Structure 1
Amino acid sequence: MACDVPSNLIERNKEAFIKHHPGVWAGLDRLGKAISSLVVENGAVTNIDLGDIRLYPEAAAGWSENQLREHLQNPDRVGFENPAHCNLSPVSRRLLQDINRYFETHPPGKIEDYPVTDAGFGYIFGVGLGFHLPGLIAQSRCRYLVIIEPIPEFIIHSMAAIDWKGIFEDAAEAGTEIHFLLGKEPEATIIEIERLIITKGQTFLDGSYAYIHYYSWPIKETRKILNERLKTYYASRGFFEDEVLMMSNTYSNFRRWPSHIISRKGHLEQDMPLFIIGSGPSFDKDLPYIKKWRDRAIVFSCGTSLGILLKNGIRPDFHVENENTPQLLNNLRDFHDEYGFDGITLVASTTVNPDIGELFGKRWFYFRSHLSSSALLNGSVKVLVGAAPLVSNAAFAVVTTLGFKNVYLFGIDCGRKPEQGHHSRDAVYYQDDYDNYLEGESLELLETEFTRLVPGNFGGQVLTAWYLDMSRVSLSGLRRVSGIELINCSDGARIEGAKPKAAASMELTYPPDRQKAVLSRLEEQLKFFNAGEFLESTNLQFHADACDNFVEAFRELMDRALEEDRSFWELEQRLIEFRNENIFEMKGVLSIIGGTYTSLIRLGAFGGNRIPDDRTRMKFLRFFIAGYRDACLWMACEIKTLLQEMAEKKPQLTKAGVIDAA
């Protein structure tokens, strides 16, 4: 039926979008011919005609009112069951112990399952005609409201049904920012949500609201992925003790080892094919083809795949390591004792254990992004982007930087088929006497982490774990911005933008045995530094002295917080402002405190924001601010010791950040 609604409402809504969300309107204005149409009955918009069916089972206004009522009675929320999501480390565990003792001596009474205040985000899946939106805005339950609509033309239809001008004004009055994500696939939507979380703040994800207005595959899939990503979002966030270790390792690596430095800049294009090899389960069936074409390609091994390759008679040109754990060093020593590393160049993050360097004849170091060591010790070297979360991501980031254009992936499965193991059969994890796991890890745990289905590289679906899925998404993003020809031979998860290719169908025409010439040409483009030379130009004394300024300013900041702040939200806003104002003068201490600076607030908010009584919650907030202040001041003093010893070029550093020293 033709639309017969007041044109002034549509025009007013158009003006509201142009004023409040001009970018959104620009996209809506470019939409082509609609595939759906409005249903108008007795002068009122009642539905959207999709052709064979209508969007709503009955008149949209009444149906939406009933749906909203049911939601408010039993809202869909993302909640955490315990503080494990708060990046617990020794310094935060000590504060958690103090919090537990406080609650034992000051029982708060009732504790709610979800936060009663300071929910950071709300996610609305589907606009349709939008009759549910005014009621959701009126509740004013979140700081950032994300409106997700896979079919953008529904926004146009809604402009004939609801008052968007009033919605924008009511949201602004309530202190709620509205963000639109329109017409995107589920994965792209999730990436945009994660960017928003990083930009707007990560502390108050706990208690986030979700509202599904109508069901479709894109909405159902987006909601499913979002729930899992939010539950695991904090798992990769940095913390103080790890930053201290990475600073110490970077300092020691440059003091002990002569090395070449990989910087993100233009390098001569490399035509020779390159293999990045991981230890995923599909490695086993591709092994004969890796051997067949080995002499026509540069080979990068990643992590534990080094041992698998050497065991099967393949010696890589480069070996990549990205982590700083003692388990990694133990594995490498075992591989070295059995096979030797002659002819293999170490390509590693500056943050790896310095003892790794003695196992290799040549070392190429790179700086990873978003680490304190990269912010404070990198000099003029540009950091690598996309080198996380796994070592395979680091390898891909390196080869894109070095100018390779034809890259093949083997054993980079990013998952497994239901009938497969989680690694190649020759991986160290399957050895009968292997016990070199991180604390809390085991073979059994590895086998239970595959909980999500994603599209397979050669069709069907594969199981993946959250960190493998993050790796897959990161590989896809870096391929997109680099423009590299990425060929995925791994029989695992599909990597968007990579071309699936069975290893059996490979055909390489590049001349054999050119590796040494290519490696020599690469090495000539990298800057070389003797042991101790790289850090000569870094002014660490400036950062050490700034720790004293931080202590004085932060103490005053927390005194004002004790007097003025009435919520964890206000406390965090104060801290964000302080960080932004001092990020250059106090870059050293603020970079190393890192994620702990905010994760401690998350720890306090986890318990405090579940206290329904306002007065009781305020008393706990005051207690927490004092404990938070003491923790940050202790960290600043430890950082002062670390940076001062580095400034004095001491060959051995005091082990800073050890909680027993407090």
Structure 2
Amino acid sequence: MTISAETLQQEMQQLRNKNEAFFKRTEPSIYNLIHDKKLSNCDLQIVKHPEHLEVDVTEQGSYRYHSQGRYYCREEANKFLTQMSPGSLLPPFIATDANIFSFDRVGSRHFKELSETIQKKIDPYQNIPMPEFYPLLVITGVGLGFHIENVVQQRDIGSLIIYEHKLDRFLTSLYCIDWEAIYQRFNPNKGTSIQLIIADTDDQHILKGILWNELIKYCPHFPFATLFYNHLMDPVNQKVIDTIRADIINYLQQWGHYDDEINQYNNARQNLLHDARAFFPSRFRLNPNISIAIVGAGPSLDNRIQYLKKYRDQLLIISCGTSIGTMFSYGIKPDFHVELESDYVVYEALSKSTTEEFRKDIILLASAQVNPRALNLFERSCIYFKDSTALSELFVDNHRDIISNTTPTCTNAGVAIACHLGVKNIFLFGTDFGFIDKNAHHASGSIYFKDKSEISAVLSDANDFNIEKTIKTTDVHGQLIDTKPMYFVSQRMVEECIKFNHLKGIKVFNCSDGASIKNTQWLPLDMMDAALSRISNEIQPSSIANDIYNLSVPFEKETINKKSDTLIEFVDYVFEILQRKIVKDLSLKNVSGSIFMMNNLISRHIHEKKGYLYYFIRGQIWLFLSMYFTYALSSRSEEELAFVVNKCEDWLKEHHRRLREEMEFILYHDMSLDDDPWVNMTVENK
């Protein structure tokens, strides 16, 4: 019996009321978006067909579903389910290759043992079939929602993320599907989850950021077994999906791992034990009339260096990374020099590009984990604590003293530090983020142009500037120039840092001739004198630098050891709660659910409860979970799956023991810098 349009309309309104009541109880943020909201950019239509009624939406006068909303959505869903049916192939996994664990260090050696043991029985490089369930499904586009209803009814799903970038379109679903019935299929305590995201914008960068920040909470299901269902092939959503896929390789490279983290902690501990002071910006109250020059090593520095000489006594100058070699070649001493990376090559680069006499009176501002040998080159050193590191959580009491936006290059760190100091004018020199001439990618005097006979093979490899791997960016004249992907990211991060600090009234002037930097004012050569002549000539840069150093904080050994105690307690805590998530009923779905719950503890519970300490162990756990998940999916029988589960659960217990044994030595040793092997080798050789 076909119901009347009036009856259907009443039922749809009742369903909206039910959905609103459900979201009010369970998702207050969603409820606040939808409560009492009416459709404004589309209309919900009941369409009469000869033998039945249909529902559709009109936007700009056209039906979105060809006047058959329920039928169209279900047909589309069935097509997706057929294409992604059990047995269709997943891509091969790269996180399990024993050859990637080439470093001869405690964490890497143990990973290699696990990989070699399991690969004697299971080949993770065979074609891996889609399991009977979807580990992680992302549906972009809600619309009427019938396709979502159809998918969850027909396929078992581990985690479901539903994403809509038009509020009006989501509102139509409130009249069409029972959201509570969909939510009831998921239970995080049993290894399944559902997340609904509504972002009312067409800005692809914003949409990508929102979805990306949610996806990275689902390792290893993202990125290794994520399916995307783009409803109606929405072009905005498709571009977001394509951008996410393109970023996966870079994302994997940013996980970090224990061996690097313990190396960074050892460096920071040695730095503090050898008289480096902690740079805490909240202790300083600089005169806002002070102007700071940030100096990078971009090629245009050669054409602008004369202004640093001319106005030297009116600027607090901060050189960044390899620019100190250029400053040395021109005979200009900065007040501060900034370094970022933890590797030994930083020490060698500094020692090869400058002299002891030149470094006198320059204060080194190094991230806490910079190699102690580098700090020893300077008579006075301060360390700063950057965000998203365990070191900042351990050693910084006031979170305003954590320096954000310091990566990926030293220039980022220099700009971030200048913004934290609270001055009103910042001038950027040599921050080109690109180059016109591929043979002149840095300023003269840079370590990049050193003859290879003058430097070690390790430093030569570190400085290998592969000019072929370039992309395009827009320069200050509106023309396209070449840049490296990392420089492009560095530029975007500088722009974001400056944008945020505009709220503090900071003005940033771009005194470089490379990439156009948003949120800055570009100063061509003929405007330099006019701009710089207006800055205060009543400051004494060396006196200001001395004050900053004297107000920085030394740490006592007893305090440092207490921080080591905290770190060991944290690692114990993480492994103890992870080991509770054992697989009780053997099945691939339950193994996947157990892995989901372990990651949930890391990415949500531990991150929220322990703050930045989470970064010390996150990469190590993510790599383990990725291997575990890969081997489980590669199993071809219950016997093989049981073998994987037993080996991985035993490995996790043993890994805790090995890491703790090493930490108890590294976190408390009394070795000098000469005797400390961690300080005197590159990361790859440790």
TM-score (norm 2): 0.79
2:231 aligns with one of 208, 213, 216 = 213
Specify the code of the residue in structure 2 equivalent to 1:44: E
Q: How does 1:184-583 map to 2 (within 5 A)?
A: 184=201, 185-197=203-215, 204-215=222-233, 218-257=236-275, 259=277, 261-264=279-282, 267-268=285-286, 270-280=288-298, 283=301, 296-312=314-330, 314-337=332-355, 340-378=358-396, 382-414=401-433, 423-424=441-442, 426=444, 427-431=446-450, 433=452, 446-450=466-470, 459=478, 467-482=486-501, 483=503, 484-488=506-510, 498-504=519-525, 505=527, 507-508=530-531, 511=534, 514=537, 517-518=540-541, 520-521=543-544, 523-524=546-547, 528=551, 533-538=554-559, 540=561, 543-544=564-565, 558=579, 561=582, 567=591, 569-571=593-595, 573-574=597-598
Contact 1:281–1:411 (Cα < 8 Å) also in 2 = yes
Question: What is the CA-CA distance between 1:544 and the residue it aligns to?
Answer: 4.8
Partners in 2 of 1:62 and 1:249 — Cα distance?
A: 63
Q: Aligned partners of 1:117, 1:467: CA distance in 2, in Å?
A: 40
DSSP 3-state at the match of 1:148: strand
Q: Which segment drifts farther, 585-594 or 324-333?
A: 585-594
Once the two structures are overlaid, the 10-residue window that deviates more, 364-373 or 564-573, is 564-573
**Residue 632 (structure 1) shift:** 2.5
Q: Take 1:117 and 1:189, find their aligned partners in 2: how far apart are those partners?
A: 30
2:427 partner SS? strand
Report what 2:181 is aligned to. 166
The aligned counterpart of 1:640 is: 664
- Tell me if the contact between 1:406 and 1:485 (Cα under 8 Å) persists in the aligned partners: yes
How far the C-alpha of 1:643 sits from its partner, in A, is 2.4
Q: CA deviation at 1:153?
A: 1.6
Q: Alpha carbons of 1:440 and 1:54: their partners in 2 closer, same or farther (altered >3 Å)?
A: farther
Q: CA separation in 2, counterparts of 1:217 and 1:652?
A: 59
Question: Quick one: which amino acid aligns to residue 392 of structure 1?
Answer: T
Q: Choose which of 176, 187, 192 in structure 2 pairs with 1:175.
A: 192
Q: Which deviations, in whole Å up to 9, do the C-alpha atoms of 1:489-538 show, x marking residues without a partner? A: 55666666x235243455425656848625534643565579xx513451
Deviation at 1:118, TM superposition (A): 8.6
Could you say which residue in structure 1 is the equivalent of 2:27? 21
Closer/same/farther in 2, CA of residues 123 and 581 from structure 1, 3 Å limit: closer
Match of 1:97 among 91, 112, 127: 112
Does structure 2 conserve the Cα–Cα contact (< 8 Å) formed by 1:642 and 1:653? no
Q: Which amino acid aligns with 2:192?
A: G
- What letter is aligned with 1:157? T
Task: Show CA shifts across 1:74-98 (max 9, x none).
Answer: 4599956412799955445434433
Displacement of 1:247 in angstroms is 1.7
Distance 1:619 1:25, change over 3 A: same
Query: What's the counterpart of residue 146 of structure 1?
Result: 161
Question: Residues 544 and 644 of structure 1 are in contact (CA less than 8 Å); yes or no, is this contact kept in structure 2?
Answer: no
Label 1:546 to 1:431 Cα distance change in 2 as closer, same or farther (>3 A). Answer: closer
Report if the CA contact (8 A) 2:294-2:317 is conserved.
Answer: yes
The sequence identity of aligned pairs, in percent, is 18
Secondary structure of the 2:627 match is helix
**Matched position secondary structure for 1:595:** helix
Query: Aligned with 1:237: secondary structure?
Result: coil
Relative to 1, partners in 2 of residues 1:277 and 1:587: Cα closer, same or farther, differing over 3 Å? closer
Which SS does the other structure have where 2:556 is aligned?
helix
Are the aligned partners of 1:296 and 1:511 in contact in 2 as well (CA < 8 Å)? no
Distance 1:178 1:633, change over 3 A: same
Residue of structure 2 equivalent to 1:137: 152
State yes or no: 1:82 paired with 2:84. no
Equivalent AA in structure 1 for residue 391 of structure 2 = S
- Note closer, same or farther for the CA distance 1:303–1:627 as it changes in structure 2 (3 Å cut): same
Contact 1:342 1:361 in 2 (8 A): yes
Which segment is superposed worse, 538-547 or 95-104?
Answer: 538-547
Q: Distance in 2 between matches of 1:421 and 1:136?
A: 55
Q: Distance in 1 between matches of 2:330 and 2:145?
A: 61
Shift of 1:64: 3.1
- 1:612: Cα distance to partner? 4.9
Q: 1:564-623, CA deviations, whole angstroms, 9 ceiling, x for partnerless residues?
A: 785254156358659999999999998755532332222332333333544422311211
SS at match of 2:634: coil
What CA deviation, in whole Å up to 9, does each residue of 1:383-419 have, x standing for no partner? 32222232222222211221123233344455567x7
SS at match of 2:386: coil
Q: Aligned pair in 2 of structure 1 residues 205, 544: CA closer, same or farther (>3 Å)?
A: same
Cα 1:265–1:176 change in 2 (3 A) is farther
Task: Give the deviation of 1:223 after TM superposition.
Answer: 1.8
Gaps of 5+ in 2: none
1:527-554, Cα deviation, whole Å (9 max, x unpaired): 5579xx5134516268459959977995
CA distance, structure 2, for counterparts of residue 414 and residue 129 of structure 1: 46
* C-alpha displacement of 1:636: 0.7
Contact 1:296–1:510 under 8 Å retained in 2: no
Contact 2:215 2:222 in 1 (8 A): no
Amino acid across the alignment from 1:396: V
2:561 is aligned with what amino acid?
L
> 1: CA distance between counterparts of 2:176 and 2:609?
53
Alignment check: 8 A CA contact 2:389 2:613 kept = no
- Distance change >3 Å, CA 275–CA 133, structure 1 → 2: farther
Letter in 1 for 2:116: R
Contact 2:280 2:552 in 1 (8 A): no
- Cα pair 2:19 2:179 within 8 Å, conserved: yes
For structure 1, the 5+ residue unaligned runs are: none
CA distance in structure 2 between the aligned counterparts of 1:537 and 1:640, rounded to whole angstroms:
15
CA contact (8 A) 1:641 1:656 kept: no
How much is the aligned-residue C-alpha RMSD, in angstroms?
4.7
Output the amino acid matched with 1:534.
F
Q: Measure the CA separation in 2 of the matches of 1:508 and 1:16.
A: 60
Residue 209 of structure 1, CA deviation: 1.6
Report how many residues are paired: 653
Query: Counterpart in 1 of 2:60?
Result: 50
The residue matched to 1:446 in structure 2 has which SS?
coil
Change (3 A) 1:384 1:60: same
Q: Which amino acid aligns with 2:193?
A: T
Q: Report the CA distance shift for 1:501/1:149 in structure 2 as closer, same or farther (over 3 A).
A: farther
Cα separation, 1, equivalents of 2:217 and 2:573? 28
Give distance in 1, aligned partners of 2:133 and 2:473.
34
Alpha-carbon distance in structure 2 between the residues aligned to 1:440 and 1:214:
52
Q: Which residue of 1 aligns with 2:643?
A: 619
Per mean C-alpha deviation after superposition, the further-off stretch among 539-548 and 379-388 is: 539-548
8 Å CA contact retained: 2:319, 2:338: yes
In 2: Cα distance, 1:183 partner to 1:584 partner: 27
